[in-house]
Amino acid sequence: MAQPKYRTHVGMVDILPGEVEKWQAVERIIHEEAKKFNFEEIRTPILEQTELIARGIGQLTDIVSKEMFAFERGDDQYVLRPECTAPVVRAFVGHHLEQRGGTQNLYYIGPMFRAEKPQKGRQRQFHQFGAEILGSDDPIADVECMAFMISVYDRVGISNMSLKINSVGDPESREAYKQALIDYFTPHKDELSEVSQNRLEKNPLRILDSKEEEDQPFIEDAPVIGDFLNEESSQHYAKVKQYLNELGISYEEDPHLVRGLDYYTRTAFELISPDLGAQDALAGGGRYDLLVEEVGGQPTPAVGFAAGIERLLLACKEMDIELSEPKSVDLYIVTIGDKARSWAIQQLPEFRKKGFSATMDYAGRSIKSQMKDADRENARYTIIVGENELNEGKFTFRDMEASEENQLPLDEIYGRLKKKL
Ligand code: AMP
């Protein structure tokens, strides 16, 4: 075959018919579970101000240029959103959503963009669903977030996964911990990966996230934040574990699980699938009590998670989970001649109004090809209509599954469709 003239960018994929039905099934489950947990959907633009996203990351320009799709237009700096927490917080602050009262339980589904090196489970355009609870520092909020997240995987049928949790404490305990990490890693600096060497001074917590082989032995023996937590953070963490136990949600404590950015506080969690290979994180989340203020709002405690839909689908594939039915249509009208074609065009909307899916041949093909097409479209029934049928007011109604045919008037056809579908 000839090379196509145009292609998608590297790391960006088309989701084609046959695959898209799986997405629809997952999205339906997310919406349904969100409703059960009383989360409301929020939709924010794909483009954000670069400053919102880059804020607080430190090494601002470096991260933006290496890891994000960013561009300028006039005086404005745009970035394709790499995640949705900051955009949701921006919307929360900008629209004063706190004035609606109570906690704001929000969820989203949509594409995110990161200029990473593509590999299995890692794309440049990928999709996340996620949720944020703004306005509560109660450990119940943390656990509700995790429960909502897990409920989606449970509904999909993914059972092989593990929830890892940790507490990253408050800013003071983190400062002490950071120093301890710097003291610990510095003597081994030359043996660490290049990325980790760069992170050592600025953000040593992120070394713990490293997947680089050469970092692993040092990470294993690194100090753990649990030893640096103050009383309040310890109690909060104890409550999170207590509620998880009470809900029967199993988890493993991972003392090295940290979220690298400074606005994260207390609870951190990750959902891992052993079926995914190197990119094994299905979802991650945690508490970020300092972010709302950083984005310009009143201090507001908050917790949330983000989950990758591609990875959820990969896990389904590994586990042979069928998410959607093969395509089908209730009725296919096979036509012989022009009069029959006009009749069919007029009848299609009537069938559709009554709730049936219905189609016909659009290409003026022979009866044989139309019957083949009906098969390919997985039609449950066909009506075969030509001039004789129109004159007599009786049509050939074929049950494709049973291979049975009857000559029936239209009202009887409707009756049968209603009974059988
Ligand atoms: P993060 O926002 O980095 O915590 O990511 C949350 C989840 O989004 C991860 O656990 C993955 O499931 C998914 N994810 C993150 N980055 C990518 C990517 N580049 N390609 C596909 N999925 C991703």
Residue 57 pLDDT = 53
Can you tell me which atom of ligand 1 is nearest the CA of 128?
8
Answer yes or no: is pLDDT of 59 > 50.
no
Is 126 near ligand 1, meaning CB less than 6 Å away? yes
Query: Do the beta carbons of residue 362 and residue 333 sit within 8 Å?
Result: no
| pLDDT tops 70 at residue 271 | yes
From the CA of 121, give the closest atom in ligand 1: 21
Confidence (pLDDT) at 63: 60
Ligand 1 atom nearest 309 alpha carbon: 12
- In short, whether 312's Cβ falls inside 6 Å of ligand 1 is no
Contact (Cβ atoms closer than 8 angstroms) between residue 299 and residue 288: no
Relative to the CA of 83, which ligand 1 atom is closest?
2
Determine the average pLDDT of the residues in 45-64. 75
Bridge pairing between strands 76-80 and 47-49: antiparallel
Looking at ligand 1, which atom is closest to the CA of residue 118?
19
Q: Is the CB of 122 under 6 A from ligand 1?
A: yes
Cα–Cα–Cα angle for 30, 36, 38, rounded to 5 degrees: 100
Query: Is 267 a pocket residue for ligand 1 (Cβ < 6 Å)?
Result: no
Q: Is the pLDDT of residue 260 over 70?
A: no
Those residues whose C-beta lies under 8 Å from the C-beta of residue 99, and which sit 6 or more positions away, are none
CA separation for the pair 108, 111 (Å, rounded)? 10
Give the residue from 314, 289, 161 showing the smallest Cα distance to 236: 289
Are 302 and 134 in contact by the 8 Å Cβ rule? The answer is yes
DSSP-assigned letter for residue 213: G
Tell me, using a 6 A CB cutoff, whether residue 128 lines ligand 1: yes
CA atoms within 13 A on the CB side of 218: 27
What pLDDT does 161 receive?
95
Question: In the block, which residue shows the tokens 């129109």?
Answer: 390
Distance 315 CA to ligand 1 centre (A): 14
Helix, strand, or coil (residue 193): coil
> 325: CA distance to ligand 1 center in Å?
27
How far, in Å, is the centroid of ligand 1 from the Cα of 366? 50
**Residue 79 in tokens:** 């970035």
The finding on whether 311 has its CB within 6 A of some atom of ligand 1 is yes
Looking from the CA of residue 270, the nearest atom of ligand 1 is 10
For atom 12 of ligand 1, the residue with the nearest CA is 308
Residue minimizing CA distance to atom 4 of ligand 1: 284
Is the CB–ligand 1 distance for residue 116 below 6 Å? yes
- How do residues 11-34 score in pLDDT, each as one tens digit? 999 999 999 999 999 999 999 999
Give the atom of ligand 1 at the shortest distance from the alpha carbon of 122: 20
The strand pair at 358-360 and 47-49 is best described as unpaired
260: phi then psi, degrees, rounded to nearest 5: -65, -25
Residue pointed to by tokens 């990253």: 168
**Stretch 157-180: mean pLDDT:** 91
Q: Is pLDDT at 60 greater than 70 in this prediction? A: no
Predicted pLDDT at 414: 94
Beta strands at 358-360 and 329-335: parallel, antiparallel or unpaired: parallel
Nearest CA to ligand 1 atom 17: 122
Asked whether the beta carbons of 265 and 96 are under 8 A apart, the reply is no
Residue of 85, 123, 261, 279 best suited for mutating to test ligand 1, as the one with most atoms within 8 Å of CB: 279
Provide CATH 3.30.930.10 ranges for the chain.
20-170+230-318
Ranges 109-113, 171-175, 320-324, 378-382: which has the least confidence? 171-175
Q: Are 171 and 257 in contact (CB under 8 A)?
A: no
Residues of the chain with CATH 3.40.50.800: 329-420
Ligand 1 close to Cβ of residue 306 (< 6 A) = yes
Can you list the alpha helix ranges (DSSP code H) found in 186-265? 194-202, 216-220, 231-247
Average pLDDT over residues 365-394: 96
The architecture of the domain spanning 329-420 is: 3-Layer(aba) Sandwich (3.40)
Is 308 a pocket residue for ligand 1 (Cβ < 6 Å)? Answer: yes
Query: What 3 state SS string does 138-189 have?
Result: CHHHHHHHHHHHHHHHHHHCCCCCEEEEEECCCHHHHHHHHHHHHHHHHHHH
Question: Which residue do the tokens 């339906």 mark?
Answer: 28
pLDDT over 60 (residue 397): yes
Is the pLDDT at 85 greater than 70? The verdict is: yes
Which of 117, 380, 146, 128 minimizes the C-alpha distance to 245?
146
User: Among residues 387, 392, 380, which one has the least CA distance to residue 420?
Assistant: 380
pLDDT for the residue 64: 65
Is the shortest distance between the CB of 264 and ligand 1 below 6 Å?
A: no
Query: Which ligand 1 atom lies nearest to the CA of residue 311?
Result: 12
Tell me which of 258 and 149 has the higher pLDDT: 149
Residue closest via CA to ligand 1's atom 10 equals: 283
- The arithmetic mean of pLDDT across residues 302-329, rounded, is 94
Q: What's the whole-number average pLDDT of the chain?
A: 93
CA distances from 349 to 94, 354, 355, 358 (A): 45, 9, 10, 8
What is the distance in A from the centroid of ligand 1 to the CA of 114? 9
CATH class of the region 20-170+230-318:
alpha beta
Q: What confidence score (pLDDT) does residue 205 get? A: 84
Interval between CA 308 and ligand 1 midpoint (Å):
5
| Cβ–ligand 1 contact at 281 (below 6 Å) | yes
Most confident of 167-171, 199-203, 345-349: 345-349
